[in-house]
Amino acid sequence: MSLRILPRLDAADAVRLTPLVAEYSAALMHGPAAAIDEPYVRRLLADRVVEIAGAELDGELVGFGLYYDLPEAISARRAGQLDDLYVRPAARSHGVASRLVAHIAAIGEARDWVHLRWMVPEGSPAIALYERIAEPAPWRNFVVRIDRSVDW
């Protein structure tokens, strides 16, 4: 199998990315999945603060990592925030997620980030992978729910 990381997806990738974002949303939502369609994904790809790397396995887009380059007040530097990471179930166990994380971390090294961080839902099967490729952060995550109709 041939795994290739696409450094930055753009509008031309919207058709291929839309089903993955929809699958990801459906997998995490408790209740109705969000209305993910191509116009939404095009807006996401055009957003000025979002970057999305992709992963192809044998030419098929099977995963993505959505991340931000953010100021980090404590260190007076910048940090990466990996906000969403998804790999199609059939493509798991082929190193896709670890390669996406490594690619984004390499971007962070080039940009002098202090770290790359991400949140993981409790009970996620991906935690085992993350424990192998990263270390637990010394903080807890909290959320103020503004729109209580969205539950993940």
Q: What ranges do the domains of the chain cover?
A: 3-133
What gap in Å lies between CA 151 and CA 145, rounded to an integer? 9
User: What's the CA gap between 70 and 142, in Å, rounded?
Assistant: 19
Q: What mean pLDDT is predicted for residues 124-128? A: 90
pLDDT per position as a tens digit, 9-32 = 999 999 999 999 999 999 988 777
Distance CA 21, CA 101 (A): 17
- pLDDT tens digits along 43-78: 999 999 999 999 999 999 999 999 999 999 999 999
Residue type at 77 in one-letter notation? R
**How far is C-alpha 51 from the chain's CA centre?**
9
Q: Which residue has the tokens 């729109």?
A: 147
Q: How confident is the model at residue 35 (pLDDT cuts 50, 70, 90)?
A: confident
The pLDDT, as a whole number, for residue 1 is: 83
Q: Which residues pair with 68 in a beta bridge?
A: 81
Residue 95 to residues 38, 57, 76, 84, 125, Cα–Cα distance (Å): 27, 10, 33, 17, 15
Answer for the pair 20, 61: CB distance below 8 angstroms, yes or no: yes
β 77-87/60-72 pair status: antiparallel
**Residue in 8, 20, 28, 26 with CA at minimum distance from that of residue 100:** 8
Q: How confident is the model at residue 145 (pLDDT cuts 50, 70, 90)?
A: confident
Fold of 3-133: Aminopeptidase (3.40.630)
Can you tell me the distance from the alpha carbon of 124 to that of 15, in angstroms, rounded to the nearest whole number?
27
Instruction: Tell me the whole-structure pTM to 2 decimals.
Output: 0.92
The answer to which of 45-59, 101-115, 118-132 has the lowest mean pLDDT is: 118-132
